[in-house]
Structure 1
Amino acid sequence: MDRWTKFGKAIGSHMSFIAPTCVILGVLFPEVFGLAKPAVPAMFALLTFQGSLNNDFKSVAVQFRHPKDVLCILGVSMIAMPVVAQLIASVLFSGNPNLVTGVTLEYCVPVGVVCFMWCGMYEGDLSLALASILVSTVLSPVSIPFTLKLLLGADVQVDVPQMMSNMAFMIALPAIAGMLVNNVTYGWGHEKLSPALSPAVKVLLMIIIASNSSQMSDQVRHLTPELVEVAAFILVFAACGFALGIALALVRKRPTSRIVTSCFCVGIRNISAGAVIAAQFFPGEVVFPVMMGTLFQQALAGIYGSLMERKLLKS
């Protein structure tokens, strides 16, 4: 069991290198990793379930008694950022609705579960992180298709009922099930089951990234100046997301732990979910902007974490 746990930790500690490698493998060998596409929703449901085993209803309920911080994080991440991303993308890439859709989709997805790990590493408020992750995750079956339809309208055909059912299967129901297991077993889910599943889930995440990346193989192999511009935009906008989270908490004069949590919760998205949605419902070109986030997100989290450690945690 110790070796199994160490194996999982080794993958997690090198994810900033592993994730881009998986993207490259998916692009280079689409005929291999594309075979996993039918199983991706089920794999992602297990990933969500394992991540939610670290949550419990009690810690989340505490945040709802004083919900201002949660509402600020969700207001920026679920409303402001998708709107701004769509507006800028519509100007920069007006001739390509697929790219605009991909950029918008990336910022419609819920707060990434991995932000809980980053908050733990840099002394963030974990209960606030849990509440932000849970609420955005549970709302995603409704919020994602609604936001896409509202912002993109006739430019994109969204099968709303099908997307909602997929999101419920992949994200909302496994998230609730994971928390329920943890509560019913009085923490056994978090202490025993989650660590046991974690290495397998990390392997599945690698397969998911590679499989999703295979959908954009043709675009990468025939890279155009416009796609390079998309990648550059995603990098800049993602970096601004982390900075916005910090600024939001500083303006409201929140304690350091909540500044850290705001940074990661606003900056980190469940990009794997976005890539799964893109691959399931849209042309391959839509996957490209979403997967670019995979290349940049973890590296940016590390940079901002180090910055906050120097400027905030040791001040």
Structure 2
Amino acid sequence: MSGLSRINRTLERIMPLITPAAIAVGVLLDWRLRSFEHWVPWIFAFMTLVGSLKIGFADMLRVLTRPTKLIALMLILHIIMPLIGWGAGRLFFPDDPYLVTGYVLLFAIPTGVVSVVWVTIYSGNLALTLALILIDTLLSPLLVPATLHVLMGTAVPIETWSMMKGLLWMVVLPSLAGMLLNEWTRGNVNRTWGPPLAPFVKVGLFSVVAINGSTIASDLKHADARLLEIVLVTLATVVLGYLIGWGVSAWRRWSLEDSIAVQFNSGMRNLSAGAVLAIQYFPASVSLPVISGMLFQQLLAATFGYRISRSRRKSEPDSGRI
């Protein structure tokens, strides 16, 4: 167990590098990794199950008694950011409805379970984060197709029912299984199995990103000015998510603990799930905004985490606390 814990701590330290490295491996070994594409939903379901072992229904009930921050996050995640993605896609790529769809999908997918890691590291409101993940995950089979339909209409064919079944299988059912195990064992399952399984989740993340990266290897190998523009637009819109979370927290004068949770959950998405959806149900170009987001999602989380640490040190210069 101690060996696995050390491996997990090492992997957590290099989290900002895991997804860019996985994309590079996917591009270099594309012809070998494509044959493993059918494993991706299974790997992702395992990752979701393990990530959900720490979530309890009590976390949701505590937050629901004072739902202001939860409602604000849902509005940011599923109204403001999808509209920003749609607007950015229409502004920069008006002649390519598939890229516009990719930007809508980038922000229609639920918040990422990995945000728990960053909120925990920087002592944010974990209960709010867990409640958001639970509710956002359970609603994702409805919210994701609905957002795509509202913003894209008939511009792009959308396999609504297949997408809903995919989200149900990859995200909702494993999440419910993990939470029920947590409740049934009163948290013992997470304390017993969470730490030894944690490094395998990160290995699974690497595998999913690498396999998904292999499916668009030809686009990445022949990078041009258009691909660079896609990456820059993705970077700008994802940064906006963090800034909007920070701005809303400052405007509402929420505590630092709440602000940390709101910032990370506004900026992060379950990009692995988004990439699976994009690759399984749409042409390859739809996945470009989602997979380009993987290049810097963890790096941006580390950058904003560093800014949070500096703000905390400035606000408590003489506290003497560790």
Aligned to 2:257: 257
Q: Is the 8 A contact 2:278 2:286 kept in 1?
A: yes
SS at match of 1:205: helix
Q: Is the 8 A contact 1:99 1:286 kept in 2?
A: yes
Q: Is the 8 A contact 1:246 1:262 kept in 2?
A: yes
Q: Is the 8 A contact 2:88 2:233 kept in 1?
A: no
How far apart in 2 are the matches of 1:3 and 1:118?
22
Aligned to 1:241: 241
Report the Cα offset of residue 314 of structure 1: 4.2
Report the Cα offset of residue 104 of structure 1: 1.1
Task: Spell out, residue by residue over 1:243-292, the C-alpha distance to the aligned partner (whole angstroms, 9 max, x if none).
Answer: 11011111011111001111001001111110111111111221111111
How far apart in 2 are the matches of 1:93 and 1:265?
27
Task: Spell out, residue by residue over 1:84-143, the C-alpha distance to the aligned partner (whole angstroms, 9 max, x if none).
Answer: 210221121011122111111111110111111111111101000111111111111111
How far apart in 2 are the matches of 1:32 and 1:212?
12
Report the Cα offset of residue 309 of structure 1: 1.4
Q: Is the 8 A contact 2:17 2:298 kept in 1?
A: no
How far apart in 1 are the matches of 2:74 and 2:287?
24
How far apart in 1 are the matches of 2:221 and 2:274?
22
Report the Cα offset of residue 25 of structure 1: 1.1
Report the Cα offset of residue 5 of structure 1: 2.2
How far apart in 2 are the matches of 1:29 and 1:103?
27
How far apart in 2 are the matches of 1:39 and 1:226?
31
Q: Is the 8 A contact 2:110 2:137 kept in 1?
A: yes
Q: Is the 8 A contact 1:128 1:261 kept in 2?
A: yes
How far apart in 2 are the matches of 1:181 and 1:79?
32
How far apart in 1 are the matches of 2:4 and 2:310?
34
SS at match of 1:21: helix
Q: Is the 8 A contact 1:108 1:143 kept in 2?
A: yes
The one-letter amino acid of 1:145's match is P
TM-score under structure 2 normalisation? Answer: 0.95
How far apart in 1 are the matches of 2:60 and 2:100?
34
Task: Spell out, residue by residue over 1:6-64, the C-alpha distance to the aligned partner (whole angstroms, 9 max, x if none).
Answer: 22222222121121011011112211111221011111011011101111111221000
Aligned to 1:118: 118
Aligned to 1:199: 199
Aligned to 1:144: 144
1:280 aligns with 2:280: yes
TM-score under structure 1 normalisation? Answer: 0.97
1:88 aligns with 2:82: no
Aligned residue pairs total 315
Task: Give runs of aligned pairs for residues 179-194 of structure 1, distance below 5 A.
Answer: 179-194=179-194
Q: Is the 8 A contact 2:118 2:301 kept in 1?
A: yes
Aligned to 2:34: 34
The one-letter amino acid of 1:59's match is D
SS at match of 1:107: helix
The one-letter amino acid of 1:250's match is A
1:302 aligns with 2:293: no
Task: Spell out, residue by residue over 1:56-87, the C-alpha distance to the aligned partner (whole angstroms, 9 max, x if none).
Answer: 11122100011110010111111110012102
How far apart in 1 are the matches of 2:35 and 2:198?
23
How far apart in 1 are the matches of 2:312 and 2:169?
39
1:155 aligns with 2:155: yes
Report the Cα offset of residue 313 of structure 1: 5.4
Aligned to 2:290: 290
The one-letter amino acid of 1:257's match is E
Quick one: structure 1 residues 25 and 154, their matched pair in 2 at CA, closer, same or farther if it must change by over 3 Å? same
How far apart in 1 are the matches of 2:166 and 2:212?
16
How far apart in 2 are the matches of 1:254 and 1:34?
46
Aligned to 1:166: 166
How far apart in 1 are the matches of 2:213 and 2:94?
24
How far apart in 2 are the matches of 1:313 and 1:44?
37
How far apart in 2 are the matches of 1:5 and 1:305?
23
SS at match of 2:130: helix
How far apart in 2 are the matches of 1:16 and 1:306?
13
Aligned to 2:65: 65
Report the Cα offset of residue 180 of structure 1: 0.7
